[in-house]
Chains A and B, each alone.
Chain A
Amino acid sequence: MIFRRYNTSVLAVVALGLLLIYYYIRQPLILSPFGAKILANQGTTLALAALAQLVVVLTGGVDLSVGAVVSLSNCIAATYMGSHPASVIAVCVLTLAVGAGAGLLNGVLVAYGRIQPIIVTLATLYIFSGLALMVRPQPGGLVPPFYANALTGGWGYLPYALVALFVVLFAVWTPLMRSRLGTAIRAVGDNPGGAHMSGINVPRTLILAYVMGGVFAAAAGLYLTAQTTSGDAAIGTSYTLNSVAAVVFGGALLGGGRGVAPGPVIAAYFLSIIISVLFAAGISPFYQSVFQGGILMVVLVFGNLWTLRTRNWLTILKN
């Protein structure tokens, strides 16, 4: 059944559920308007970065430049935003356009340059973080309070962060993935040769997927700007690993073809909130990376076990 496609998200949902229950036992205050806001704000940047990673992973690639694009858009937004609402909107659009441009560069190099996505995005990772450092050599910048509040505030128990995320999910992500392009993206990741045979324009599909990835990463940067109200060229670094972790944890298949948005988004919240939970549980926050790296590795191993069940050594090798 079609719902089976969402089964891959179950692990993330259960993990987040258990985490929140444990957190509530430790710290009942999270069940308050303020607590809900804090929780939602914590994970939204990574959730958007995970969407950026997901669309590329669906094509069978991986985008190591996600973190750098987050930094770059954070620096651009915090540096040029100004305080007038018109300029804020203009700079937001500009930032998203820069993200699209970054994705375009990645996509063209992968599709027409015929270079492995890993190498392309490893190189552009340095280009984009260099550019971020040029825009903002020192951390700082100015973000108008209304902008920060519009994205990080809340109305009762409803954090604006979730509203923003839902707008992105239902007004942008879902329509795109339900268009022919969305099917083409999954088809290219699933079986590139078959996609070509079925008349799909593979390079065009790849490029558009990377452009989408760039835009989502820039959106993550915009959210981060509202959260930190400043720009920092180094702030995005951790989002590369964590977006990959969220995507894998959220049930998408590295290698392409399989993955739906809810899993990675929920996994992103899990990976973000676990830091506070560790703190609340009295575990040293130093364990944060241990958990993030460890979860990624464990999930990878379990995700691949079924492939290893194949009886033919050659199939395993050619995989």
Chain B
Amino acid sequence: MTRDTNGTGPLLDARAITKSFGGVQALNAADFACDRGEIHALLGANGAGKSTLVKIFSGVMAPDSGTITFDGQEVTFTSPADAGAKGVATVFQELSLFAHLTVAENIFIGHEPLTRLGQVSGRRMRATARALFDRLGIDHLNPDALLSDLSLADRQLVEIFKALSRDPRLLILDEGTSALGRTEVERLFALLRKLKSGGTSVVFISHRMAEIREFVDRMSVFRNGALVGTVAAANCSDEEIVEMMLGQRVDKSFPERSPLPAAAPMLLEVEGMSGGSRLRDISLQLRGGEVLGIAGLEGQGQGELLLALFGAYRRLSGRVMLHGKPAKLSKPWIAKRAGIALIPEDRKTEGLVLPMSVRENISMATLPAYGRFGFVSLKRERRFVAQMIERLEIKVGSMEQPARALSGGNQQKLVLAKWLATGAEVFLFYDPTRGIDVGTKRAFYELIAGLAREGRGVIVYTTETSELAGLCHRVLVMDDGRMVRSLEGDEITEPKILAASFGLGDGAKPEKVPA
């Protein structure tokens, strides 16, 4: 089956697409072209702009500038419905499914087959769904099962079928296979090749490069919001791709790593911690003055680990020792009293109360210190907040400004100021420099190194590999909720960390790290 097409150029041709959020440039004059009937992988480190590009192609957001040509005609995708009508179907990273609907209802949502009386035809819906399943050789999915009963992998399949059911001209899979097993991925690609021979194009985004590269025709590598280059998948080595993703060695000028004194006291010991949504048998040790990095692909349990250490999970197994004494970190306020600070993943929803003032945010965790009998002495609070603003060089018009009005970097400094105020000993950073400008990043590196020099312990998870290489004394690599590698000394280089995270090279033989 071939389709009617207009012209013979690429199916999708995007030129000079620019998009910024607040002060952060997500896409900077990015180009991207996908041919008719090809499987095209989109690669890049985190924050390279892949997801933003996908959201623009699927009508979720509009670009600030740039042109998109689809099937020979210049178009704008005004909404997901509009993009769908034009023939673009997307499997999103965050699932867009409905827990209380059946598998079939999820797949055909919005374009259900109808009976002559205008009723949704359950029979035809089920039959069509089964036909779809057969094409992928899936026989374990029941069209009548409720989505809430499905495993994560099956939900991802449903999401893929949902996109396929619209018979798209362009199918975009944004991390669409992260939960699928090897055989399912292979079957999926077999189907994608069938679609391709029918003229459908597929854009594929995945961090699991090793898994997908044999299936795709071409790969486009993105870095810092722009296209680095498009290469044929067949004649390109892993090393070349990693190099394209990392780019020229830019000197990020990290602060001097203070040597770890041999007699550094043990601050935090974790043994066999399991629980949360995916943590499995985690063990780690942190000494005073040490910066411990957590690496790995996105979503391998790093966030859960930091939250667990901060007391946000119930019913964790394993042992935690603070200063050599057993501790039970079951609530955030217990962790706070024990001297643990968390700079959380999302400063906008977890770190700050955006509508409240700079002052109120900085003092949020330490209010009892500014007065007695439940009162807050504004004078003492202001004096303290002023000190913090000066110490961290936070750029604010006044401390009564709402936190919302600050730039991303200064907002992140507010979160840090809040925790510095508590005098914590252990600082947990979750991707602290995501979406902040280079200058402030540099200031953050100094702050993190400074915390270590003062003898505090730091655990940092970041998606920027260069930061791990530049800041950490030790790096632990996580995969699927486990610690799989520990890198020390000379091993802490960007390529090695990246390779270990992607499961390439040495990392291909994951070994369990002894505590």
Q: Within 8 Å by CB, do A and B touch in the complex?
A: yes
The reply to whether B99 and A190 contact each other, CB–CB distance below 8 Å, is yes
Q: How far apart are A205's CB and chain B's nearest CB, in angstroms?
A: 11
CB distance from B57 to the nearest CB of A (A): 13
What residues make up the interface of B, taking CB atoms closer than 8 Å to A? 60, 79-81, 84-85, 92, 95-102, 105, 109-110, 112, 114, 117-120, 122, 142, 144-146, 149, 162, 275-277, 307, 311-316, 331-332, 350
Q: CB-nearest residue of chain A relative to B344? A: A314
* A293-319 residues at the B interface, CB under 8 angstroms: 311-314
Chain B residue contacts of A179, Cβ below 8 A: 118-120
Contact of B112 among A183, A257, A313 (CB under 8 A): A183
Other 17 A-B pairs with CB < 8 A, given A1-B145, A199-B85, A312-B313: A5-B146, A179-B118, A179-B119, A180-B112, A180-B120, A183-B109, A186-B100, A186-B101, A187-B109, A191-B99, A194-B98, A198-B96, A199-B79, A199-B110, A200-B81, A311-B277, A313-B311
B110 and A180 contacting across the interface, CB-CB below 8 Å: yes
Question: Chain B residues with Cβ under 8 A from A257's Cβ?
Answer: 98-101
The answer to whether the Cβ of A2 comes within 8 Å of any Cβ in the partner chain is yes
Q: Are A200 and B110 in contact (CB under 8 A)?
A: yes
Q: Which 6 A-B pairs have the closest CB atoms?
A: A199-B81, A194-B96, A190-B98, A258-B100, A257-B100, A197-B96
- Contact indicator B80/A183 (Cβ below 8 Å): no
What is the predominant secondary structure among interface residues of chain A facing chain B?
helix
How many Å from the CB of A173 to the closest CB on chain B?
13
Nearest chain-B residue to A188 (Cβ)?
A: B98
A38 to B473, CA, bound (A): 80
* Contact B100 A253, beta carbon cutoff 8 Å: yes
**CB 8 Å contact bits of A45-83 with B (1 = contact, 0 = none):** 000000000000000000000000000000000000000
Task: Using CB atoms, name the residue of chain B closest to A1.
Answer: B144
| A256 nearest CB neighbor, chain B only | B100
Interface string of A2-16 (1 = CB under 8 A from B): 101100000000000
Residues of B within 8 A of A183 (CB): 101, 105, 109, 112, 120
A312 to B307, CA, bound (A): 9
CA distance A175 to B115 in the complex (A): 11
Question: Please, which residues of chain B bring their CB within 8 A of the CB of A4?
Answer: 146, 149
A137 at the interface (CB under 8 A from B): no
Indicate which residue in A187, A195, A311 contacts B314 across the interface (CB closer than 8 Å): A311
**In contact, B101 and A196 (Cβ under 8 angstroms):** no
Total A-B Cβ pairs within 8 A:
100
Once the chains are docked, how many angstroms separate the CA of A198 from the CA of B159? 11
Alpha-carbon distance A250/B99, docked complex (angstroms):
19
Closest-CB distance, B366 to chain A (whole angstroms) = 21
Select one of B119, B120, B144, B276 contacting A311, CB under 8 A: B276
Q: Which residues of A contact B100 (CB under 8 A)?
A: 5, 186, 190, 253, 257-258
Q: Which of B92, B114, B117, B313 contacts A180 (CB 8 A)?
A: B114
- Number of A residues contacting the other chain (C-beta, 8 Å)? 31
Q: With an 8 A cutoff between CB atoms, is A28 at the interface? A: no
C-alpha spacing A179/B114, complex, angstroms:
8
Give A191 Cβ to nearest chain B Cβ, in Å. 5
Interface centre among B142, B311, B313 (most CB of A within 10 A): B313
Q: Is the CB of B146 within 8 A of A311?
A: no
A175 to B117, CA, bound (A): 9
Chain A residue nearest to B104 (CB atoms) is A2
Distance in angstroms from B198 CB to nearest chain A CB is 23
* Residues of A contacting B144 in the complex (Cβ-Cβ under 8 angstroms): 1-2
Give B276's nearest chain A residue, CB to CB. Answer: A311
A40 close to B (CB within 8 Å): no
Contact A182 B101 (CB under 8 A): no
Interface flags for A221-263 (1: CB within 8 Å of B; 0: not) read 0000000000000000000000000000000010001100000
Tell me whether A84 is interfacial, beta carbon within 8 Å.
no
A2 to B145, CA, bound (A): 6
Contact among A175, A199, A312 for B84, CB-based, below 8 A: A199
Residue of B nearest to A178 (CB): B119
B109 proximity list for chain A (CB < 8 A): 183-184, 187, 195, 198, 200
Given contacts A179-B120, A197-B96, A258-B100, contact A184 B146 (CB under 8 A): no
Check B110 against A313 for contact (C-beta < 8 Å).
no
CA distance A193 to B96 in the complex (A): 7
* CA–CA, A195 and B81, complex, Å: 10
Q: Of all chain A residues, which has the CB nearest B147? A: A190
Chosen A-B contacts, 7 in total, with CB atoms closer than 8 Å, are A2-B122, A175-B118, A187-B98, A191-B99, A199-B79, A311-B277, A312-B313
A190 touches B312 (CB 8 A): no
- Give the CA-CA distance A201 to B110 in the complex, in Å: 9
- What residues on B are CB-neighbors of A193 within 8 Å? 96
Cross-chain contact A1 with B98 (CB below 8 angstroms): no
Q: Across the interface, do B142 and A196 meet the contact criterion of CB distance under 8 Å?
A: no
Task: Give, as a whole number of angstroms, the nearest-CB distance from A58 to chain B.
Answer: 9
CB–CB A1/B307 < 8 A: no
CB-CB under 8 A for A199 and B80, given A184-B110, A314-B350: yes
User: Which residues of A162-185 have CB atoms within 8 Å of chain B's CB atoms?
Assistant: 175, 178-180, 182-184
Closest A residue, CB atoms, query B103 = A2
Q: With A and B bound together, what is the CA distance between A75 and B152 in angstroms? A: 53
> B307 contacts which of A194, A198, A314 (Cβ < 8 Å)?
A314
- Cβ-neighbour of B98 out of A182, A191, A314 (below 8 A): A191
